[in-house]
Each structure stands twice: as structure tokens, then as C-alpha cells.
Amino acid sequence: MGSRLHTKVTADWHRWLAEAVAAGYAAPDLLTTMKENGFDERASRDAIADALFGSPSPPSNAPEPSTFRSHLRAGHVLDAGDRQVRVLVRVARPTIAVLDGVLDPSECEALRALATTRLARSQVVNPGTGVGVVQDIRTSEGANFGRGETPLIARIDARAAAIMNLDQEHGEGLQAMRYGPAAEYLPHFDYFPPDDPGSQAHLRNGGQRVSTLIMYLNDVDAGGETIFPRIDFSYVPRQGQALYFEYNAPDGSLDLLSLHGGAPVLSGEKWILTKWMRERPFPG
């Protein structure tokens, strides 16, 4: 019988993680070191996220001012223009909704085929320069589509905009991603951190991101969940469904609870299609 894994990360280890992040060590290397030293993977990932992004503030018992209003409409069924989409789950903070019937099986198959012809290693935004770079925190392959590039893409663009309750002109182009066995995306934020020098060019061009819609193009045999580690929420991919979320706290500030990631695919592969919306019109 193996030894029991550590689920509590001590202050010494938190200090070590902070120093390692400051020294430029990559998150996957930190995770490997912690697992080699007997730490539970979930506890390790949470501690690494705190070192990278800071710990979320504890919730206050006082009521929070309602200066921010979600774009997501109320109700159990949303009008997506060419169809009705059912809401299966809602989370209040951060704003999250699990949506059913967003894509048909035939659309999922066609989108996978279209993306396959242009897959390339996925990139992340360099915080210093704002330029896309390949890093081991994201090990998927991706394919980008211009807004309205084909009749199928135009139809999905319009449907996503209706669900997200913003004009199509606010949307970035759709991005398809394929995660093969063991591929993952470590916890991250979708918004552009305002203090990062590399964010400024993005913020000048359409403003801040305000919401994400992840559409799932296949069922995953094992693993591949979309996780929100700071609220202990996990979504299991199902073909045709979508996960919608926003990044603002009730006071309108960027919400650290929106930290999310893609868990490693344990068997099979995972295909997703993502739409991000901006504050202002964006040349997508």
C-alpha cells in the first residue's frame, strides 16, 4: 500500500512556490516537484494557482453592492436565435451556466472536420509582450476562425452572440481546440490582467474580455473536465452542451474566483469550440 498523500500545503512550501514562480519556473515543473514530494495533485494545483495569481479574498458577510449586472438572461430557456437552449445549472459567483442543446451532433462533426485541417499547437498570451507563445501550461492544438468565415461559422457566431447577449461585433473569432491523451490547460484567467504590460495592446483593441462560451464537440471517455478550483466546481464534457461564464465580481471588479482550467484527458480526446466576448466592438 502506498503512503498517504499530503493534502495540506505548509507555509514553507507556499514560500518555496512563491520564490520558484518569481524565479521563472514553469507551473508544470512545480507540479511535478510537489507530486514527487508526496503532495496530492489537487492540493498542489491549488497552491500553484495561489502562487501564480494570488489567493482570493475571503467572502464578506456584508451584502455586496450590485453595481455589476450579468449579461446572461434569466430563465430556464434562452433564445439563441435559431433555437431554444435550456439552462441546466447556474452558479451565482462567478456567473456560470451549463447549457444544453447548443450544437447539433452534425454541427459538432463538421466543426471538428473543419478544424482538423488547420490545427497547430495552442498558444497563451505572454504577460510581458502580449504576443502568443507556446507554453507547457497549455498542451492542446488549436484552430482559429474569422468571424463569419463560412456559413457554418457564421451560424455559430450568431447563436453564440444571442446566448451571450452581446452584439456579434463584440466577439473574437471562434477558436477550436483538440486535447489528446494527457493534454491539459492549467488554471488561468480568460481576462487580460490590467497590470500586465502585454495586456495593454489587447485592451486598446476592443477592451476587456467580459465572458466566455465553451462549446463541447464530443463526449470525453475519461478526464478532460473544465474545472473552477476556487469554488470546487467541475463540469464533465458532453457533446452539444456549453459552459458559459463571466469574470466580474458583484462590485464590478475582476473576480479571482473565475480561475479555471482544463483537467488532463485520461482517455480518448476532447474537442471544444470557444467564443470570447469583449466590452466594445472587436475586429474579429
Instruction: List, for residues 165-201, the tens digit of each pLDDT value.
Output: 999 999 999 999 999 999 998 899 999 999 888 888 8
Q: What is the DSSP letter of 181?
A: T
Does pLDDT of 137 surpass 50? yes
Phi-psi label, residue 49: left if phi above 0, alpha if psi -120 to 50, beta otherwise: alpha
Instruction: Compute the distance between CA of residue 80 and CA of residue 252 in angstroms, rounded to an integer.
Output: 26
What percent of the chain clears pLDDT 70, i.e. is strictly above it?
Answer: 87
Q: Over the stretch 201-260, which tens digit does the pLDDT of each residue have?
A: 889 999 999 999 999 999 999 999 999 999 999 999 999 999 999 999 888 899 999 999
Of 120-124, 214-218, 231-235, 265-269, give the lowest mean pLDDT range. 120-124
> Quick one: 77-278 is in which CATH superfamily?
q2cbj1_9rhob like domain (2.60.120.620)
Does pLDDT of 120 surpass 50? yes
Q: Hey, where are the domains in the chain? A: 11-53, 77-278
Phi-psi label, residue 101: left if phi above 0, alpha if psi -120 to 50, beta otherwise: left
Split at pLDDT 50, 70, 90, the class of 61 is: very low
Look-up of cell digits 457564421: 154
Does pLDDT of 43 surpass 70? yes
Does pLDDT of 136 surpass 70? no
pLDDT reported for residue 58: 45
- Residue 39 has φ and ψ, to the nearest 5°, of -90, 145
Tell me the pairing of strands 185-188 and 260-262.
Answer: antiparallel
Question: How many residues are there in the chain?
Answer: 284
3-state helix, strand, coil in the chain (%, to 5): 25, 25, 45
Residue 130, C-alpha cell as written in the block: 502580449
